[in-house]
Amino acid sequence: MKRKFPESFIWATGTSSYQVEGAAFADGKGLSIWDEFVQRPGVIVDDQNAHVTCDQYHHYKEDVQLMKNLGLKGYRFSMCWSRVLPSGRGEINHKGLDYYKNLCDELLNNGIEPYMTFYHWDLPLALQKDFGGWESTQTIMYYGEYVDKISNELAGRVKNFFTFNEFLACADVGYGMGLIAPGLKLEAKRLNQVRHNLLVAHGTGLQVLRSTVPSAKVTIAENPFFMMPVADKTEHVEAAKKAFREVNAHFLTAIMEGKYLDCYLEKEKWNAPQFTDDEMKLISQPMDMLGLNLYYGKQVKADPNSENGYMIFESHRDQPTGIADFYFEPSSMYWGCRIANELWHPKEILISENGMLANDRIDADGNVYDSYRITHLRCYLGSLARALEEGIPVNGYFHWSLLDNFEWHHGYRPRFGLFHVNFQTQKRTPKLSAEWYQDTIKYGRIS
Site for ligand GCO, rule CB under 6 A: 16, 19, 165-166, 169, 223, 293, 353, 400, 407, 416
Phi (first) and psi of residue 227, to 5 degrees = -125, 145
**In the complex with ligand GCO, which residue's Cβ is closer, 50 or 280?**
50
**Helix count and strand count (H, E) for the chain:** 16, 13
Cβ pair 133, 122 in contact under 8 A: no
Closest CA to 73 of 4, 157, 11: 11
Write the Ramachandran bin of 408: left for phi over 0, alpha for psi from -120 to 50, otherwise beta.
Answer: left
**In the complex with ligand GCO, which residue's Cβ is closer, 169 or 302?**
169
Out of 21, 106, 329, 353, the active site residue is 353
- From the CB of residue 47, how many other CB atoms can be counted at a distance below 10 Å? 12
Q: Could you give the 3-state DSSP secondary structure of residue 28?
A: coil
**Cα torsion 408, 413, 419, 420: sign:** positive
Cβ pair 228, 297 in contact under 8 A: yes
Strands 160-165 and 217-222 come out as parallel
CB of 443 to ligand GCO, least distance (A): 27
CB of 375 to ligand GCO, least distance (A): 18
- From the CB of residue 169, how many other CB atoms can be counted at a distance below 10 Å? 18
**In the complex with ligand GCO, which residue's Cβ is closer, 16 or 331?**
16
CB of 357 to ligand GCO, least distance (A): 7
- From the CB of residue 356, how many other CB atoms can be counted at a distance below 10 Å? 24
- 145 burial level (CB within 10 Å; 0-12, 13-18, 19+): middle
CB of 44 to ligand GCO, least distance (A): 14
**In the complex with ligand GCO, which residue's Cβ is closer, 29 or 399?**
399
**In the complex with ligand GCO, which residue's Cβ is closer, 131 or 225?**
225
CB of 174 to ligand GCO, least distance (A): 11
**In the complex with ligand GCO, which residue's Cβ is closer, 16 or 284?**
16
Is residue 166 annotated as part of the catalytic site, yes or no?
yes
Cα atoms in the 13 Å half-sphere on the side-chain side of 44: 22
Out of 113, 166, 222, 279, the active site residue is 166
Where do the DSSP E strands lie in 202-358?
Answer: 217-222, 226-229, 290-293, 297-302, 310-313, 349-354
**In the complex with ligand GCO, which residue's Cβ is closer, 16 or 151?**
16
CB of 223 to ligand GCO, least distance (A): 6
Strands 113-117 and 74-78 come out as parallel
CB of 262 to ligand GCO, least distance (A): 29
Closest CA to 118 of 89, 83, 80: 80
CB of 235 to ligand GCO, least distance (A): 32
**In the complex with ligand GCO, which residue's Cβ is closer, 106 or 404?**
404
Is residue 353 annotated as part of the catalytic site, yes or no?
yes
Cis omega (within 30 of 0) for bond into 8 = no
Where do the DSSP E strands lie in 295-401?
Answer: 297-302, 310-313, 349-354, 394-400
Q: Could you give the 3-state DSSP secondary structure of residue 392?
A: coil
Known catalytic residues are 166, 353
